[in-house]
Amino acid sequence: MNRYELGRILGHGTFAKVYHARSLMTDHHSVAIKVIDKEKVLRIGMIEQIKREISIMRLVRHPNVVQLHEVMASKTKIYFVMEYVRGGELFSRVAKGRLKEEVARKYFQQVIGAIDFCHSRGVYHRDLKLENLLVDDTDNVKVSDFGLSAVRESQRTDGLLHTTCGTPSYVAPEIIDNKGYDGAKADVWSCGIILFVLLAGYLPFYDTNLMEMYRKIGKGEYKNPHWFSDDVRRLLAMLLDPNPETRITIEKLIEHPWFNKEYKPAVMPAQPHSPNSLKDVQVAFSTDHEDNRCEQSSKAMKPASLNAFNIISLSHGFDLSGLLEMEQKHKVHELFMTQKPASAIVSKLEEIAETEHFNVKKQDGIVKLQGSKEGRKGQLTIDAEIFEVASSCYVVEVTKAAGDTLEYQTFCNKDLRPSLKDICWTSPSDDQLQSVSE
């Protein structure tokens, strides 16, 4: 991180911390850097979510959306370098008391302008709330945190989204019903909650009993405070309509007299070329591979050597490990033989890993493949150890290190064996291993 100097922590979550930082390259320009623990997101299978967040933030460049400047990565961390918004959360302003109608309208107009732009790009936020709205030093709103966002391509064949997510007091009733929902209409509902809170200073649907709160949301039961104008009441009734089919659309909302008063659409910046987003998506998760290549450019991958006893122990008929270990667990493994050099074996394993979305680590003759998705028993992890048994003769032992055995066997049958057939012989029999040892 020679390009940025980290400062105080602005916030933190389960997998990330956000720091205030300044650029050492551009006159100490302030930025916010979100530091994500790569190991944690790999372990719980959040890789695709992080990739999607990067892609979406590159896609939704709007004056009222927090901008992503660049993405960097190390072996253990992913760094989002983002626009620094000095004013903090809009929530903190409302916590001091409700806003005047003209102030609330200005903020609401900016939120709707940003969300309308996101929808035009096929992006649905799905977690709109005051805590995810920031205010800059010129008193303009910035929509942040696209971690739960979805894109149009995520819709199923019915044209709806089906992932239940969001913050309970802001979530649309159709999401609670868990029957599929339109991402744009669900965002409109959340915007209605935001408008109510800006003007009232409290949430329209709240109950200490979560199920009772969900019941109120499903029926659209809320009470307007006495200071709400008639125009605001009518608009909220259209925004907080529990029926998504009759709920007001953003297009109609923008034409509404209350909303349209002194409305000034944001001036759009020039949009960058799309390849930038693809580059950032790749860099966040390719660093391990690049670092490994750099480390091993001066030191070639050296396979372990096998003596006669080692070779015999690989044979199922002559496995003597039971005599040496009182409690020997059954090892799920596959054996392959080849005359190709270790570098060719490693390259082939890397190709398989890239195709099947595994992460690769290499050390001391062992290639470790770690699945990017959570399986029935956690992430599938496979160790491939390369042994040199004679000149130009190698044995590759592939072992399940973690995860579900059935998933491991499926991977070996459908992906590993077919992919290795060009460089490896079929799994060696006991006779073949014995003949090598002789």
Instruction: Provide the token pair at 179.
Output: 């029957």
Instruction: Provide the token pair at 397.
Output: 């032992």
- Cβ proximity of 393 and 436 under 8 Å: yes
Count of CB atoms within 10 A of residue 39's CB?
12
- Cβ proximity of 74 and 289 under 8 Å: no
- Give the sign of the dihedral formed by CA 18, CA 375, CA 408, CA 329: positive
Whole-number Å distance between alpha carbons of 64 and 113: 8
Whole-number Å distance between alpha carbons of 352 and 379: 17
Q: Which residues pair with 148 in a beta bridge?
A: none
Q: Which residues pair with 362 in a beta bridge?
A: 367
Whole-number Å distance between alpha carbons of 405 and 415: 15
DSSP 258-287: HHHTT--PPPPPPPPPTHHHHHHHHHHHHH
For residue 405, the one-letter residue type is T
* Composition of the chain by helix, strand, coil, percent to 5: 40, 25, 35
DSSP 83-124: E--TT-BHHHHHTT-PPPHHHHHHHHHHHHHHHHHHHHTTEE
Classify 34 as helix, strand or coil: strand
Can you tell me which residue has the tokens 């409690």?
Answer: 327
List active site positions: 127
- Cβ proximity of 240 and 193 under 8 Å: yes
- Cβ proximity of 99 and 199 under 8 Å: yes
Whole-number Å distance between alpha carbons of 189 and 182: 11
Distances in Å between the alpha carbon of 194 and those of 121, 239, 325, 418? 22, 10, 64, 55
- Cβ proximity of 87 and 313 under 8 Å: no
